Structure 1
Amino acid sequence: MLTRNALIIFLLLFNAALASAQTSRIVSGSTEFSVKFILGTCHGTFGAPKGKAVFSEKNPEASTFDMTVDAASFKTNSDSRDRDMKSEKYFYVDKFPQIRFRSSKVEQVGKQYNATGTLTIRDVSRTVTLPFTAVKNADGPMKLASTFELNRLDYHIGEKDWKLKDIVTVTLTAVLR
């Protein structure tokens, strides 16, 4: 049985932990990608990520992320390519409208962080580790940024093709408030 003093100390520590890792809403950001193909490099975007995050620089292990990106927001400045990429052959946005990342572990590694969790694209969910940086702006919001590579074939995005490389580089930025 807890003594009165032990209970007060516990409540103070619990409230301090809550204050240092509060749930935030992702209010803006960007999702950019690039993939090499026979004629050079294709650059494109998706809409900004949406979702919730709990992040604490002082206690990163208590952090969690649950974010989505609208798969239909895919853009490369080529209407025919964009339509093709949204089709069943690639992202199949009619059936799989969201790309989702849900963390299971966050840890600090040097001056940056790693978020390990499940990335779901189309009908495939895989465990990935996304490196990221966190910068708190003077006016309050926190900016998280991650650049990582993924193999599009692991997520059934297209087929093996000598004209298109398998590795895609993604840069994801999320602003939390």
Structure 2
Amino acid sequence: MATVFAGHVSAQTTKIVSGSTKFSVKFILGTCNGTFDAPRGEAVFNEKNPENASFDVKIAAGTFKTNNNSRDKDLKGDKYFWVEKYPDIHFKSSKVEKKGDKYQATGTLTMRDVSKTVALPFDAKKNADGSYSLTSSFDINRLDYKIGEKDWKLKDIVTVNLQATIK
């Protein structure tokens, strides 16, 4: 009688259990800071095998807040995020690798009806309970994704700060 043993896989699919998404963009009167609801989705990550990691993350486009109701209403419309037609901002990785003391997730970022390959740097810290805290800060050009139009009052580059705890 033969016995087959299955090996234990150290990286497993996990859920994002908490997080935050913040952004900032400069405009003629200063800097507009805002937030989206926490990212949601699934992740596979283990710092010992980053090449086996993967991310499938969504952010609800209509959840942003900039502390200006009029501006928030405009941003939800078809000139900017068009949240009625495109409710999610989506990132799906195709490759994850270690880069020095950090990591980089390469994949497809989709906003509105535009998908582009991007490389997002991130830090990963293993917590005492076995969960991971992941943080990423990156810049995107809003015009690449049809978020608004060229405007001398508003810069094109948006800085995004993403934090997620996966377990």
- Where on the TM-score scale, by shorter chain, does this alignment land: which range? over 0.9
One-letter code aligned to 2:90: R
More helix by share: 1
**Gapped runs of 5+ residues in structure 2?**
none
One-letter code aligned to 1:63: A
Other structure's SS at 1:72 match = helix
Q: CA deviation at 1:56?
A: 1.1
Deviating more after overlay: 65-74 vs 132-141: 132-141
State the partner residue of 2:108: 118
State the partner residue of 2:18: 28
**Gapped runs of 5+ residues in structure 1?**
none
* Structure 1 Cα separation of the partners of residues 91 and 17 of structure 2: 16
* Structure 1 Cα separation of the partners of residues 52 and 128 of structure 2: 23
Tell me the percent identity.
64
TM-score normalized with structure 2 length: 0.96
- Please list every run of at least 4 consecutive aligned residues from structure 1 whose deviation after the TM superposition is greater than 4 angstroms: none
2:48 counterpart of 1:54: no
State the partner residue of 2:76: 86
State the partner residue of 2:160: 170
How many aligned positions are there?
166
Q: Which has the larger radius of gyration?
A: 1
Which of 32, 35, 43 is the matching residue for 1:45? Answer: 35
TM-score normalized with structure 1 length: 0.91
Other structure's SS at 2:71 match = helix
